[in-house]
Amino acid sequence: MKPHPLTTLTFTLAIALAARAQEKPADTSPERARANFARAIVLASDDVRAFPEAPAGFKAVRAGVPAGKLELFEYDSGVTGTRRKANVYLPPGYSPEKKYPVLYLLHGIGGDITEWLKAGSPNVVLDNLIADGKAVPMIIVLPNGRALPDDRPGPNVFAPEQQAGFARFERDLLDFLIPAVQAKYSTFTDREHRALAGLSMGGGQTLNFGLAHLDTFAWLGAFSSAPNTKPPAELVPDPVAARAQLKLLYLSCGNKDGLINFSQGVHRYLKEHDVPHLWNVDEHGHDGATWGSNLYIFSRRIFR
Ligand code: FER
């Protein structure tokens, strides 16, 4: 027997509403995460690619391309009360005589300062783009987005304490990491030379923190954003101000990723409120293939 059309409508609305609700740290659990990943994927006509996949070899080391430098960076955090670590990429030919823009690039739920190096090779992606004149030489900072005294991914990465650490990273980033990076490296310090991007939990952090601090970040990239993403109307309460301040708001997700409804909700709200943004839906799942490719697409478009 076919369900009554109204039953179907109510069911669809219930899914749509549930999909937009932010998962609060206290509510997060492995069971809810499984349910989130298993959500029905309903694609609208505008949930399509805006850009082709990054070209073959985009994250492979190429002979003759100058390599930037990866180094470990440490800073004292008043949020965690500890000395924290980050990986830093300095572009080829980095010189204290010049000034550089900075991209802060955030990892996902089980990640740490090494996740992006495995998932998307940002150092190699940028070496290649810079060599081809397709990206501005920039510093990339890969912090640990879990602002806790013990910031290792625990045995249960969905534990409420771990989730709370991701939320607490907002003040660690703004009050401790950014000032420490700017004190050590030769950087521009205005908003138009500062970008924030991330994958999954890091995508949610990018939207939650970046859109709340557009005086600090002009360029935002949220890849496969996780359920920590705030509801769209909370992210962008003032679409007119957001429109005026954003240089780029880039959203991406794979069309096989059960978390896509969180990004769809943000995209639809931005579209309804005329906030310019790029929305790239590719054919990947919740994996490194989409993150590397979208980092390539995003990093070419920032600081120019
Ligand atoms: C969840 C499912 C996935 C969740 C977070 C994630 C906060 C994050 C995934 C990732 O970072 O890869 O329910 O709740």
Residue nearest to atom 14 of ligand 1 (CA): 227
CB atoms within 10 A of CB 262: 33
Give the 3-state secondary structure of residue 280. Answer: strand
304 part of a folded domain: no
pLDDT in tens, 166-206: 999 999 999 999 999 999 999 999 999 999 999 999 999 99
Q: Which residues of 87-107 are buried (b: 16+ CB within 10 A; e: fewer)?
A: bbbbbeebeeeeebbbbbbbb
Q: The tokens of 268 are what?
A: 């639809």
Asked whether residue 48 is assigned to any structural domain, the reply reads: yes
Give 57 Cα–ligand 1 centroid separation in angstroms. Answer: 29
Report pLDDT digits (tens) over 269-280. 999 999 999 999
The whole model's pTM is what?
A: 0.94
Each residue's pLDDT tens digit, 140-152: 999 999 999 999 9
Nearest-atom index, ligand 1, CA of 33: 13
CB 226 less than 6 A from any atom of ligand 1: yes
Count structural domains, the chain. Answer: 1
Domain that holds residue 169: 5-299
Residue 11 lies in a domain: yes
Q: Is the pLDDT of residue 111 over 60?
A: yes
pLDDT tens digit sequence for 6-22: 554 444 444 444 445 78
Q: Which ligand 1 atom lies nearest to the CA of residue 25? A: 7
Q: How far is the CA of 173 from the centre of ligand 1 (A)?
A: 20
Evaluate if residue 208 carries a pLDDT over 90: yes
CA-200 nearest atom, ligand 1: 11
Q: 143 or 4: which carries more pLDDT confidence?
A: 143
pLDDT bucket at 154, cuts 50 / 70 / 90: confident
- pLDDT tier for residue 5 given thresholds of 50, 70 and 90: low
Task: Look up the CATH number of the domain holding residue 289.
Answer: 3.40.50.1820
| CA 81 to ligand 1 centroid distance, Å | 26
Residues with Cβ within 8 Å of residue 132, at least 6 apart in sequence: none
Kindly state whether residue 263 falls inside one of the protein's structural domains: yes
Site to substitute for ligand 1 among 109, 112, 229, 284, most atoms within 8 A of C-beta:
109
For residue 20, what pLDDT is reported? 52
Q: Shortest CA distance to 266 belongs to which of 300, 303, 224?
A: 224
- Does residue 179 belong to any structural domain of this protein? yes
Q: Which of residues 214 and 9 earns the better pLDDT score? A: 214
